[in-house]
Amino acid sequence: MLTQYPVGRLSDRVDRRTVIASMCLLGTVVAAVIEVFGPLPRALFLLMAALFSGAALTLYSLSVSHVNDKLAPSQMVGASSALLLINGTAAAFGPAITGGLMSAFGARAYFGTLGTLTGALTLYDLWRKARRQPVPQSEKGPFINTRELVTCAGLDPAPMAGVEPLELPLPRAPVKGAGAAPSSP
């Protein structure tokens, strides 16, 4: 989570695809180091795992921001739904696939799998970058830190949709004299 804001702010200033490719490349290099040089001393392993996580956990937020840069506000909800579906599908199948690879090749296959995925995403992002122009700075929206969004029915879409903010009722004060119900033994 410490990397979300600095990386997000950087993506507001430069081409988001460059930032996405950089985070993927960092994750790939870190995963390769863990894979090739493992087993590492515990402190070094934890540092490398934190570095990988810091790079990888920015990717969804960066992707949402990049997609939204290219869409009209009326298209953003549909695109967000598609991104959530893709993310959820990967979250459902990824552990099963990685677990199968770990059963076949051992625990080190965990970072091997993650490094392969981030490496493939790096190559795809660079390929796409070579085929399309960046979004002009004037058309870029701000970075969306998805870690701060509430992903439940209480999500207030008002700031982005241009509607009046949702006013939630305040909780009622407890009734005086009402104590906790006695618990049964």
pLDDT 10s digits, 109-139: 999 999 999 999 999 999 988 888 777 666 6
Q: Which residue has the higher pLDDT, 171 or 44?
A: 44
pLDDT-based confidence at residue 149 (cuts at 50, 70, 90): very low
Inter-residue contact 107 to 40 (CB < 8 Å): no
Residue 106 has pLDDT above 80, yes or no: yes
Mean pLDDT across the chain, nearest whole number?
A: 79
User: Rounded mean pLDDT of 83-94?
Assistant: 91
Q: With a cut of 50, say whether residue 3 has pLDDT above it.
A: yes
pLDDT at res. 168? 47
Query: What pLDDT score was predicted for residue 183?
Result: 45
Q: How confident is the model at residue 19 (pLDDT cuts 50, 70, 90)?
A: very high
Of residues 152, 27, 62, 45, the one with CA closest to residue 108: 45
Q: What is the mean pLDDT of residues 89-93?
A: 92
C-alpha Rg value of the chain to the nearest Å: 21
Residue 92 has a CB neighbour count (10 Å cut-off) of 9
